[in-house]
Chains A and B, each alone.
Chain A
Amino acid sequence: MTSHQAWSVEAATVILQAMPAEERLMLPALQRIQAVFGWVPDESVPVIARELNVSRAEVVGVLTYYHDLRQSPPPPVAVQVCVSEACQAVGARPLAASLEAVYGVPLGETRDGVEFAKVYCLGNCALGPAAMVNGRLLGRCDVERVGAAIAQAQSVLA
């Protein structure tokens, strides 16, 4: 992933105070925290609760509902493979199987700093099978194309 800021209450407060203090903006607030820090640390829960004037429990309820919101630091490389209907119709299953075979890790797990996850639709149905590597959307994927993106992501980090 692109470089993330180190967590701090002060930085989180600045991010949150830049948006209206409204309960209905809970999800955007969580997304911004994740965008800046790469994840949503437990320490951010009371800060979000304070700034949006909701309870800590409510923040935890939303945070734990969405798989896309991370409660632990992100891996160096995150690969998301779409397994929704449209992509399945154009080869998402064989793609997933190939990735599992090449990298020796089932979808849903992390190996050597590369996390493979299933997602249900990246909004790129016309160009399936779709995948995303560290936030970069890939269309018409095959194992080579995804592998190249992984290698590039690793080289950026190296």
Chain B
Amino acid sequence: MTLLHEPDYGTPAALSLARVEVVVDGVPVTVPAGTSVMRAAAEAGFDVPKLCATDSLQPFGSCRLCVVEIDGKKGTPASCTTPCEPGMVVRTQTPRVTELRRNVMELYISDHPLDCLTCPANGDCELQDMAGVVGLREVRYGYDGANHLDAPTDDSNPYFSFDESKCIACSRCVRACDEIQGTFALTIVGRGFDSKVSPGGTSFMDSECVSCGACVQACPTATLEEKSVIDLGIPTRTVLTTCAYCGVGCSFKAELRGDELVRMVPAKDGGANEGHSCVKGRFAWGYATHPDRVLTPLIRDAITEPWREASWEEAIGHAATRIRDIQTRYGVDSVGGITSSRCTNEEVFVVQKMVRAAFGTNNVDTCARVCHSPTGYGLKQTFGASAGTQDFKSVESADVILVIGANPTDAHPVFASRMKRRLRDGARLIIVDPRRIDLVRSAHITADHHLQLQPGTNVAVVNALGHVIATEGLIDRDFVAQRCDLASFAAWEAFISLPENSPEAVEAVSGVPAEELRAAARLYAAGPNSAVYYGLGVTEHSQGSTMVMAMANIAMATGNIGRDGVGINPLRGQNNVQGSCDMGSFPHELPGYRHVSDDAVREQFEVLWGADLRGDPGMRIPNMLDAALTGQFRALFVQGEDIAQSDPNTQHVQRALEAMDLVIVQDLFLNETARYAHVFLPGTSFLEKDGTFTNAERRINRVRPVMAAKTGKQEWEIICDLSTALGYPMAYDSSSEIMDEVAALTPTFAGVSFALLDEVGSVQWPCNAEHPLGTPIMHVDGFVRGKGAFQITAFVPTDERSTRRYPLLLTTGRILSQYNVGAQTRRTANVAWHDEDLLDIHESDAEARGITDGGWVTIASRVGTTVMRAQISDRVPPGVVYTTFHFPGSGANVITTEYSDWATNCPEYKVTAVEITPTLRGPDALLASAEADAGALA
């Protein structure tokens, strides 16, 4: 259920181009062939009463409330399951159907609690509404017969309750779980009168449920209801905004009472999510009001001292004075800043502007350095634009889906649901991953090929695919001739055809059987529409950039670029990683990916900003950290990022932070990095922000404040104040003015404004005079760089490899309920699903080492050791172990190394040689540190 009632046409739109005209209650209406009578009636302005129908689900025809009469047809067909036929004359309000509907409703109500006045859904209940619509006045059957009124309530899920006594068995929840989410966790058990909805005969928490909430949203009664609604009451107002977790960027209706958030409901017209959400977006927002949040600025002279509360003026003044002192003593370039992919475009833009214009250096970098910087580099080199090529909707037209180094069902669950829907409808699937992720095989999804490669051999595997395409005559020569740079193609064709790239040669290094590689390559090349979706399993390698280009090569060679259903699609980890890169967060690029050395571009910025800008690239994050240890880099501004937990080789990061004279952290919580900070500037949660996020499909979505900033200041205001204190006055009346400045300076954003976004909902950049409403699919008529450029992508094995001392390869990833360093999700009830990081290890490796399921183990790499509990799992092959990095105590990054992508320095998180040994005791001290950050104030 939802407060802001979007129109519900009862059944999904039909896609046919053929049209059919029918007459509903005397009104002629023309609809696509295949449209239901119910939907046609709604389009003609007549809502037929319904309970089991909703336009996000296929028609079901079970509630019998939507009966109508059709001239020349016998009986009273259900309008939801009856397709329109040419010339049909439909009557939705005859005495006969009115009587029938009232009788049906009478039966429903004879087995339904009559506690409407005290029911949590009072005022937001379709059963209640329909009872009114059909004019129910009495229940002749009485209430003494057999009924379900004493059925129990399942409260096991932390976020919603399942009150069976209120269920009308319409199956909307079951169908939502099947059709929308694709988990199939719900069913109807029993038969006849005993039929009831059940998560498979167990409790919700013990079931296959992933808590996406689609069932709660689909329920027309209070049977499945958010606990927050039960506790707080029905919300009274709605604010449209955007989720701040992953790069899917789901649109939500934040529903409030006053300024208290009651629930988040995904918006049906959200371009990225079309009415769906996951457990994080819908439910895990409680961190915004968590008592651990710091709301007052804090300062201290040394990190050994306790924090002291300060006024904004004092904290900002203190920070500005120290920055200028350090620059005076150690030079302009001894300071720098890191922007956050969790913050809005506007917030990121002002931070990089402050660094460039007020600090006077290009030492600005962003957390995308450690995730998708190879995407930016690789796609720019090949296609000319540092971004994914498609919109999410494009997957609905894909025939072959190639997923590489991504685990969408955990990390991008809402997109995964869309992908799974397409797979159930017949698309073929190839998975390239060392682990058996859910997409390899889970209910109703089976990958045609799982190329289970050794970590670190991505490039070899994709080159082998390219080899088969080139040597088996599978190249789309017309596409290449028309769209690509022919010299680069000729060089690539010669290179990729070399025997070292053959599947037979690659089998030896990757462990993937040659025949499997050949079959996968043929399938990808056959398409006709083949799409690549990839994640950090591609980028976080020493050859991350090479790998991105290798994928781009095969897409160009097979002509799978520039239309619906194809493309190269990075699944971005963070809500605004695309945006933070777009906004000029890299040390060598101004907003819009224009090099700082381009005098014409720089001059444009200098004129508008009234400042001299440097033409030489600044330092990247790893350079800043290295320079800190040699004393050249002295002060760092960190916006909403926890490098002490998230960046590789934690000890190195900690020593670098310790060596700095000034660390300024802007965040919601005193995170691990704040242990090394001297100034803490409290930030705002997404529920307080006013701005925009840009998701993985380049979609710019509005983030609207649902409550006032708890700190009293928007983050961009704090940056403006700091910049002003540094002697470079920066001021905006609103964040919309910041976007206006972005638009004025950035050709791909030229048409973007808050006014446009408020009017049309969202746009995908490029948005300019040529594309006033944005660009869902890129490179349609030609590549952004002109001709597509093939790149030579020789496989160079990483120096990090298993040895006798460290014989196993560790790879890391995320799980569904937690998000990255967990600063937010650890502070929600999502810990009910995952409250510690575990090491997945294959049975044979465990047995050889005497490791038991659930036993403590020490993980040692050449740079460090940590301790966590083992989980024996057949998801990893022998020789490979896997863990997540959601909890600071588990120290997954204590063991990751300094190796990184050759082009962008993106760390090689995905390959670390380790040895695992059983240990007797858990890391009590380490586990305690997860909670210690709250205590750091004392």
Q: What residues make up the interface of A, taking CB atoms closer than 8 Å to B?
A: 23, 42, 45, 49, 53-61, 64-67
Contact = CB atoms under 8 A, between A and B. Distances in A.
User: Interface SS of chain B: helix, strand, loop or mixed?
Assistant: loop
Given A53-B446, A55-B187, A56-B208, 20 more contacts: A42-B201, A45-B200, A53-B441, A53-B442, A53-B443, A53-B444, A55-B184, A55-B208, A57-B185, A57-B187, A57-B200, A58-B184, A58-B443, A60-B189, A60-B198, A64-B191, A65-B189, A65-B190, A66-B191, A67-B191
Nearest to A55: B184
Contacts of B198: 57, 60
A60 B187 contact: yes
20 contacts: A23-B444, A42-B201, A53-B441, A53-B443, A54-B184, A54-B443, A55-B184, A55-B185, A55-B208, A57-B184, A57-B185, A57-B198, A57-B199, A59-B200, A60-B187, A60-B189, A61-B187, A61-B189, A64-B191, A65-B189
A18 to B, nearest CB: 19
B189 A54 contact: no
Which 6 residue pairs are nearest across A and B when measured between Cβ atoms? A61-B187, A57-B200, A55-B184, A64-B189, A57-B187, A55-B443
A16 to B, nearest CB: 15
B14 to A, nearest CB: 26
A64 B188 CA distance: 9
A66 B194 CA distance: 12
B153 to A, nearest CB: 19
Nearest to B445: A53
A58 B446 contact: no
A57 B207 CA distance: 8
A55 B200 contact: yes
Contacts of A59: 200
A117 to B, nearest CB: 15
B243 interface: no
A55 B183 contact: yes
B212 to A, nearest CB: 14
Interface of B: 183-191, 198-201, 207-208, 441-446
Contacts of A49: 443
User: Interface SS of chain A: helix, strand, loop or mixed?
Assistant: helix
A45 B189 CA distance: 14
Contacts of A65: 189-191
A58 to B, nearest CB: 6
Contacts of A45: 200
Contacts of B200: 45, 55-61
Contacts of A61: 187-189, 200
B733 to A, nearest CB: 53
Q: Which of B190, B191, B200, B207 has the most CB of A within 10 A?
A: B200
B349 to A, nearest CB: 46
A106 B111 CA distance: 29
B691 to A, nearest CB: 40
A45 B200 CA distance: 10
A57 B186 contact: yes
Contacts of A66: 191
Contacts of B189: 60-61, 64-65
Contacts of B183: 55
A131 to B, nearest CB: 23
B444 A54 contact: yes
A54 to B, nearest CB: 5
Contacts of B191: 64-67
A64 B208 contact: no
A157 B54 CA distance: 56
A49 B444 CA distance: 10
Nearest to B446: A53
A58 B444 CA distance: 11
Nearest to A62: B187
Contacts of B199: 57
Nearest to B200: A57
Nearest to B443: A55
Contacts of B184: 54-55, 57-58
A53 B182 CA distance: 13
A64 B200 CA distance: 10
A58 B183 CA distance: 10
A60 B201 contact: yes
Nearest to B442: A53
B322 to A, nearest CB: 58
A55 B442 CA distance: 8
Contacts of A53: 441-446
Contacts of A60: 187, 189, 198, 200-201
Nearest to B191: A65
B337 to A, nearest CB: 48
Nearest to A59: B200
Nearest to B183: A55
A62 to B, nearest CB: 8
Contact of B187 (A23, A58, A67): A58
A61 B189 CA distance: 5
Nearest to A50: B441
Q: Which of A45, A58, A59, A67 has the most CB of B within 10 A?
A: A58
